[in-house]
Amino acid sequence: MLNRRQILAATPAVALMGCGRAPAVAERWSLGSLKAAAPFPVGVAGMTGQLRDPAWVDLVSTHFSQLTPEWEMKMERLVRDDGTLDFEASDRLAAFCDQQRIRLFGHTLIWYAQEHPWFQGLPEERFAAEHDRYVRTVVERYRRRIVGWDVVNEPVAEDGNGYRDCLWSRRLGGIDGYIRRAFDVAREADGEAALFLNDYNLENNPTKGASYLRLVERLLAAGTPITGLGTQSHLDITIPEGRISGFMHELAGFGLPIHVSELDASLGGGGRMDLRSRETRLSQQRDRVVELAEAFMALPPAQRFAFTVWGMRATDSWLRRDARDDGKDSPLLFDATGRPNPMFQAVAGAIRPDR
């Protein structure tokens, strides 16, 4: 199965654009604006190809107050074969955020999955210095234009038992070494941006959630300048009621800002035979998304950093880029034409302060 990194790298920009028209103005405004209703920033992931789609831009301007580059600030996009950096695409997204007057969130500086060939070929005596140069250069370029960074992405092992073995951990001294170093350099480069440790399946898998919490505790005790916690929230809609809110309560115990950083909720069965009706799946999706949004709303205001969905329309989702996609999944807030899905109504209803 293709992972997100492979899908994004192989997908032409034009294929990321929506295939339908924007909703009528009267319909759009009758829904209300998410960013106007929410007492915190509402974010969305985007890519440069979507900037050419007026329907996508219209939905961003109506509903969202923060944007995360889905691909353009990742190492595999920024680092050329010779180790020099290409900021053309990331600069375009930064300029778009300036034009729209929305916040820009950086994703991601160090990710276990991006063992760039140029870094792999470095001799031992240069590796640490080049790592530091990369982190410092990227962070400094967007200083005072960016509100925060996923400094380290997905450090916990897939099954939750332990932590990732990767190029960065092997070369920079294990889990404490590479994470601590990346945060230290990022803090030196930008003393104001919020610095996040980001991971996924934290709500879905209690073992992984617990490992993430232990890692945060360990890093904070060592003085690592983590100033925010990111839970991606790619939700499994079949998990038991209460698991999401329970994890959010534990996460809140650190007192740090929390970013729901990559929300989607697939209706699919994860490759398994699935006999549930579509109505059942939509009901499960609604219940889990409402639980997440209500748990986020229950946080103290200072801990509600942002609530971000990982794509705008169903056809923008990384889950719909697999060649085996049957065109039926609806993991995001809007359908292919920009009309709201039931998930939109679930989020909109849960985040109103006066509900």
Please state the three-class secondary structure of 269-295 as a single string: CCCCCCCCCHHHHHHHHHHHHHHHHHH
Containing H/E element for 228? Answer: strand 228-231
Q: What is the mean pLDDT of residues 40-47?
A: 98
Bridge partners, 198 (sequence order): 153, 230
Predicted confidence at residue 1, as pLDDT, reads 35
- Judged against a pLDDT cut of 50, whether residue 16 lies above it is answered with no
Dihedrals φ, ψ of 168, to 5°?
Answer: -70, -40
29 SS3 class: helix
Q: Compute CA 96 distance to the chain's CA centroid, rounded to the nearest angstrom.
A: 18
pTM above 0.85, yes or no: yes
Query: Does 349 have pLDDT greater than 60?
Result: yes
Which pLDDT belongs to residue 31? 57
The CATH architecture one would assign to domain 4-10+22-267+276-351 is Alpha-Beta Barrel (3.20)
What are the tens digits of pLDDT across the range 141-157?
999 999 999 999 999 99
Over the stretch 209-219, which tens digit does the pLDDT of each residue have? 999 999 999 99
3-state SS assignment for residue 264: strand
Q: Give the pLDDT confidence score for residue 25 in this predicted structure.
A: 34
User: Looking at 49-58, 241-250, 266-275, which range is the least confident one?
Assistant: 266-275
Whether 28 has a pLDDT exceeding 90, the answer reads no
260-294: per-residue pLDDT in tens? Answer: 999 999 998 655 667 889 999 999 999 999 999 99
Per-residue confidence (pLDDT) for residue 184, from 0 to 100 = 98
Classified as helix, coil or strand, 165 is coil
Which of 25-39, 111-125, 151-165, 292-306 bottoms out in mean pLDDT, i.e. has the lowest? Answer: 25-39
**pLDDT-derived band at 40, boundaries 50, 70, 90:** very high
Domain residue extents for the chain? 4-10+22-267+276-351
Nearest to 142 by CA among 78, 230, 82, 199: 78
3-state secondary structure of 252: helix
Structure confidence at residue 176 as a pLDDT band (50, 70, 90): confident
- One-letter amino acid at 219 equals L
pLDDT tens digits for 290-314?
Answer: 999 999 999 999 999 999 999 999 9
Q: Distance (Å, rounded) from C-alpha 148 to C-alpha 216?
A: 18
